[in-house]
Structure 1
């Protein structure tokens, strides 16, 4: 099963400044563990929303809004795509995710696991319910 671990944006990631040496070291260690376990498919850190745009496809129109975006609660600072055998294994990896400075509510405030719903070819996969 494929899962995506999402690293939520915070004020520090939205500032566009460099990450601390301690955080970079922790992220490198975590990435190395994922690679050694053979579960990492892809990973990346994302630019702050000030460098992004949102395209709204409503009412038959395409409306582009450029960043930055006010609410960092819905923004993503990075991701890991992993392939594991169970949801529980994905959640265990999410619990081990390094936390950003100021993450005071445990892993849920920094990193969460979502089922990616991807087929072996990477195309969206729709399962019958």
Structure 2
């Protein structure tokens, strides 16, 4: 088994569409989560607060600079995630295809490497 992160990415437009049908979206999302729990693949699932409530810590200069949200010209915002434990990337993709999402949203599928795959410092 491998861990995969399904990252929910939305635009201002897809987020507005989701909010317009929030009751239906929440019902569909609860059903989706129940399906993942029944299948034994869900490890965690969380949504994130409005991006205007966040900050960005930018390490481009000599000292980190903190900027309040929203993030200027960002076209896609990370809105939440599902962490799955599945047999393959293909299985993760099949779950990603079932995520209740508004038109224009995207789901990024990324494998989470095991601790034995992370480079270790010598010494």
Higher RCO, Cα 8 Å, sep 6+ = 2
CA positional deviation for 1:115: 1.2
Structure 2, gaps ≥5 residues long? none
Q: Which residue of 1 aligns with 2:85?
A: 83
Q: How many residues align?
A: 116
Distance 1:68 1:54, change over 3 A: same
Q: Are the counterparts in 2 of residues 8 and 73 from structure 1 also a CA contact under 8 Å?
A: no
CA positional deviation for 1:57: 1.6
Q: Which residue of 1 aligns with 2:109?
A: 113
Distance 1:116 1:74, change over 3 A: farther
Distance 1:66 1:118 in 2: 33
Q: Which residue of 2 aligns with 1:4?
A: 5
Q: Are the counterparts in 2 of residues 9 and 72 from structure 1 also a CA contact under 8 Å?
A: no
**What's the TM-score, normalizing by structure 1?**
0.77
Q: Which residue of 1 aligns with 2:97?
A: 95
CA positional deviation for 1:58: 2.6
Q: Which residue of 1 aligns with 2:39?
A: 37
Distance 1:64 1:114, change over 3 A: same
Please report the RMSD computed on the Cα atoms of aligned residues, expressed in angstroms: 2.4
Distance 2:24 2:109 in 1: 23
Higher CA-based Rg:
2
Decide which of 106, 115, 126 is 2:118's aligned counterpart.
126
Decide which of 24, 27, 32 is 2:26's aligned counterpart.
24
CA positional deviation for 1:31: 0.6
